[in-house]
Amino acid sequence: MDWAYFLQQLINGLTLGAIYGLIAIGYTMVYGIIGMINFAHGEIYMIGAFHSLITFLICQAAGISGILPLTLLLMLFVSMVLTSIYGWGVERVAYRPLRGSFRLAALISAIGMSIFLQNFVQISQGARVKPMQPLIEGGITMMKSANFDVQLSYMQIIIIVLTFVLMVVFSTLIAKTSLGRAQRACEQDRTMAGLLGVNVDRTISTTFVMGAALASVAGMMVTLYYGVIDFYIGFLAGVKAFTAAVLGGIGSLPGAMLGGLLIGLIEAFWSGYLTIEYKDVATFGILVLVLIFRPWGLLGKPEVEKV
């Protein structure tokens, strides 16, 4: 077995998995708190990618794209802020009026929102693939074998480190702050939390904003990592990220990250060792297997059936 090749796939898989994980957190938080699949979340991620691309182009036009750290920080900041507002707006328009209503209504409304956002970006930004020159080049050669050098690019390091940092920040936010406490309270019992003085509407809005912010970071990383985006990237990424959230146990933050990493690794290894065409089949196949034998996911708690 060629260990160098294995290591390379591992690195690629972790990078991809980090991106899926960041999107999956948005799904898992929203599902945890209001129990619905936020189908438009994939589009939020796509909008985040577009925001970061446009910010970069503005930086370039303003002539500050030479200062790399400043450009990156601007991209991160602007994209997070603007995309969060989309998350907020989607919740406000399409989900809040349907809260407490018929469950499928919210799902259809979410699918409608997803179609709307996709076409909105397609019309306003064009249907063509948007290329972007690589900003961060180079990397470290980790291992040399006879016919293969293992490359860990700086971009991959940034992605993995940034994901890790965000995970720590958000876990602390949820575990330690009063906002996180409110979120956990709403997750357990919305009515009771409201009676005890938690502003339920605001807490749910914040959850959407947080999810959208993380998705926008994922969007920015994809823009930088692959260098091409289009209006359609949200759908597949969204489905896979939701798969990751279910795989890890929906409602669980570490679960979402774990699920994301697993999906990323499965994809990377499947395309590396078997066929690249059927990588999506592998992803969904694993999902089906996990759900059959462990329906509550890897880190989730089994749901007790109540009458």
Partner 1 sequence: MSSAFASSRTSGSEIVKELAFFAVIALLMSVMILGVETVDRPTGLELAVRWDLVLIAIGSTVIGRLALIIRREGISRLVQALMITLAAVCVFEMFVRFRDMDDRWASPVVLDMAVGSFTSIVVTVCFLAIVFAIAYFSMKEKSAVVVDESTKISSKIQVAYRSNTKKIGLIGIIFFFIFPLIFGENRSAIDLATLVMIYIMLGWGLNIVVGLAGLLDLGYVAFYAVGAYSYALLSQNFDLSFWLCLPLAGIFAASFGIILGFPVLRLRGDYLAIVTLGFGEIIRVILINWYDLTGGPDGISSIERPSFFGLAEFSRRVPEGSIGFGDLMGIEYSSMHRLIFLYYLILILALVTNFVTMRLRKLPIGRAWEALREDEIACRSLGINPTNTKLSAFAIGAMFGGFAGAFFATRQGFISPESFTFLESAVILAIVVMGGMGSQIGVVLAAVVMIGFPEMFRELAEYRMLIFGAGMVAIMLWRPRGLLSFRDPTILLNMSKKEKVAGEAK
Q: Which of residues 126-165 bind partner 1 (CB under 8 A)?
A: 126, 128, 130-133
| Residue choice 4, 7, 10, 111 for contact with partner 1 (CB under 8 A) | 111
Contact set for partner 1, span 51-110 (CB under 8 A): 51, 53-55, 57-58, 61, 78, 81-82, 85-86, 88-89, 93-94, 97-98, 101-109
* Stretch touching partner 1 by CB under 8 A, among 1-9, 17-25, 116-124, 216-224: 116-124
The answer to whether 42 and 23 are in contact (CB under 8 A) is yes
Nearest to 22 by CA among 45, 50, 52, 53: 45
Give the integer Cα–Cα distance in Å for 71 and 123: 27
CB of 1 to partner 1, least distance (A): 27
* Stretch touching partner 1 by CB under 8 A, among 10-18, 50-58, 181-189, 257-265: 50-58
Give the integer Cα–Cα distance in Å for 99 and 106: 8
Contact set for partner 1, span 27-46 (CB under 8 A): 31, 36-37
Give the integer Cα–Cα distance in Å for 49 and 55: 10
* Stretch touching partner 1 by CB under 8 A, among 152-160, 172-180, 208-216, 240-248: 240-248
CB of 97 to partner 1, least distance (A): 5
Helix%, strand%, coil% for the chain, nearest 5: 75, 5, 20
Q: How far is CA 291 from the centre of its chain?
A: 21
CB of 93 to partner 1, least distance (A): 7
Give the SS3 label for residue 250: coil
Residue 227 near partner 1 by CB under 8 A:
no
**Direct distance between the N- and C-terminal alpha carbons of the chain, in angstroms, rounded to an integer:** 53
Nearest to 51 by CA among 24, 78, 12: 78
Closer residue to partner 1 in complex, CB, 14/25: 25
Closer residue to partner 1 in complex, CB, 170/242: 242
Closer residue to partner 1 in complex, CB, 4/286: 286
CB of 219 to partner 1, least distance (A): 13
Nearest to 24 by CA among 221, 291, 218: 218
Residue 232 near partner 1 by CB under 8 A:
no
To which H or E segment does residue 229 belong?
strand 228-229
